[in-house]
Chains A and B, each alone.
Chain A
Amino acid sequence: MSNSTATMASQRRTASWTVTGLRLLLALIFGLPLVFMIVASFKPDTQIFGDLGSINAFLPVGDLSLDNYLGVFDRVPFGSSCSTRS
């Protein structure tokens, strides 16, 4: 009796480890693309492509800057869209 409860408990423990592993895997699948997007927003184009093959693609390392964010204001006419267009 005690033996069977022990195996059941160990089975449950393996099950809970599988569940935790599955949760982490799914969290990576859902989170990493967004992490990649945010991290890439701080990198110049050449470095984004240079980092693609390694873990660096998801880490804020290397030549980080806010240039992309500044570029938005150059490319998109924020001011003129607020004022009258015609």
Chain B
Amino acid sequence: MTVSTATKPPAEQQQQTIVRKGNPTTRKTAPVALSMLAPAGILMIVFLIIPIILTLSLAFTNARLISPVPARFIGLDNFTRLFESSTFWYSLLNTLIFAVVIVPLQSGLALILALLVNAKVRGTNFFRTVYFLPVVTSMVVVSMLFMFMYQQDGLINALLAKVGITGPDWLGDPNTALIALIVMSAWQGMGLHMVIWLSGLQTIPEELYEAAQIDGTTRWQQFVNVTWPCLEQTRTFILITITIAAFAVFTQVNVMTQGGPLDATSTVVFLAVRAGFDQQQTGYASAISLVFFALVLAVSLVQRHLTRDKDPQR
């Protein structure tokens, strides 16, 4: 112990002198460093920076995916067309409903799952695995499976018939299609957020619970006064990731409903992909993406503001 403390200061001084001496060498090695940075840098510029700039500029043109006519600047025409389209407003509304419903549903149920499998009893690993299974199943596969189960004469209605309920044609009825999608998405994603909650739960020191037990608290009081406050960081992380994922909902819609029936399940990202690739209207799709970007940015900023406000209180 004494030896290490004694040798430390000279070692630090030595390091500093090395760095000071090394400065000219660093200048010489700058090209090497840049060339090592190049692979990641080039990939980022080609696949991230350039597409973003292209989207920004294409949104104000009438560019098409494959066209002999060169793109022409048309000002805000794409945006006026977008804001006049009823499908866009339905998609925006559906996206917002999807996010508003799925964020509390999925995170809340995932927390319950995490609490259920946090206890150290036999079989916990089995239950954790089962709850996590849908996450490792591809969303396309899950969508196909649920498409089959949601049919008018599918599994879910067959089970409902057992208890005397005549189920609707889940995906064919505009009133139930979005709910069916939300339930399926929550079912698929819950396991992942259960694991994140679980990691948060396991960082809470056991002593806090012991102290609470000595004070004679009930299970519920322990949850409210110990578990919930200790999970603040986890909560913020889960809130932000679920919200961003919810706004980007696309796969389920594309596989299961194609935005139908009567635009009841169309979402903003689905609209952008359909406009860009099925209808080949690159300019219009860029405008939709830009609006979507603004939406997600606004929501993220609001969330950051809300989660940041609590920090000074500590």
Stretch of B19-27, B33-41, B153-161, B290-298 with 4 or more beta carbons under 8 angstroms from chain A:
B153-161
Q: How far is the CB of B267 from chain A (nearest CB, A)?
A: 23
- Chain B residues with CB under 8 A of A15: 219
- Chain B residues with CB under 8 A of A57: 155, 158
> At the interface, yes or no: A37 with Cβ under 8 Å from chain B?
yes
- Chain A residues with CB under 8 A of B119: 19
- Partner pick for B134 among A23, A30, A53, CB 8 A cutoff: A30
Residue of B nearest to A28 (CB): B130
Q: Please give the number of chain A residues whose Cβ is less than 8 angstroms from any Cβ of chain B in the complex.
A: 17
> At the interface, yes or no: A62 with Cβ under 8 Å from chain B?
no
> At the interface, yes or no: B113 with Cβ under 8 Å from chain A?
yes
Residue of A nearest to B131 (CB): A30
A34 contacts B137, C-beta separation under 8 Å? yes
B134 contacts A36, C-beta separation under 8 Å? no
- Chain A residues with CB under 8 A of B141: 37
Q: How far is the CB of A23 from chain B (nearest CB, A)?
A: 5
- Chain A residues with CB under 8 A of B113: 26
B127 contacts A23, C-beta separation under 8 Å? yes
- Partner pick for B145 among A22, A26, A37, A52, CB 8 A cutoff: A37
> At the interface, yes or no: B259 with Cβ under 8 Å from chain A?
no
> At the interface, yes or no: B191 with Cβ under 8 Å from chain A?
yes
Main secondary structure of the interface of A (DSSP, over half): helix
- Chain B residues with CB under 8 A of A37: 141, 145
B121-158 residues with Cβ-Cβ distance < 8 A to A are 123, 126-127, 130-131, 133-134, 137, 141, 145-146, 149, 153-155, 158
- Partner pick for A27 among B131, B158, B190, B219, CB 8 A cutoff: B131
> At the interface, yes or no: B305 with Cβ under 8 Å from chain A?
no
A22 contacts B137, C-beta separation under 8 Å? no
User: In the complex where A22-B116, A23-B116 touch, is A53 in contact with B145 (Cβ < 8 A)?
Assistant: no
> At the interface, yes or no: B120 with Cβ under 8 Å from chain A?
no
Q: How far is the CB of B59 from chain A (nearest CB, A)?
A: 34
- Chain A residues with CB under 8 A of B162: 53
Q: How far is the CB of B131 from chain A (nearest CB, A)?
A: 5
Bound together, the chains give a CA A29 to CA B158 distance in angstroms of 15
B153 contacts A33, C-beta separation under 8 Å? no
A49 contacts B153, C-beta separation under 8 Å? yes
B116 contacts A52, C-beta separation under 8 Å? no
B116 contacts A33, C-beta separation under 8 Å? no
Bound together, the chains give a CA A81 to CA B190 distance in angstroms of 35
Residues of A within 8 A of B (CB): 15, 19, 22-23, 26-27, 29-31, 33-34, 36-37, 49, 52-53, 57
15 contacts between A and B (CB under 8 A): A26-B113, A26-B116, A27-B126, A27-B127, A27-B130, A30-B130, A30-B131, A30-B133, A30-B187, A31-B130, A33-B146, A36-B145, A52-B158, A53-B162, A57-B158
| 12 more CB-based (< 8 A) A-B contacts, given A15-B219, A36-B149 | A23-B117, A30-B133, A30-B134, A30-B190, A31-B130, A33-B134, A33-B145, A33-B155, A36-B155, A37-B141, A53-B158, A57-B155
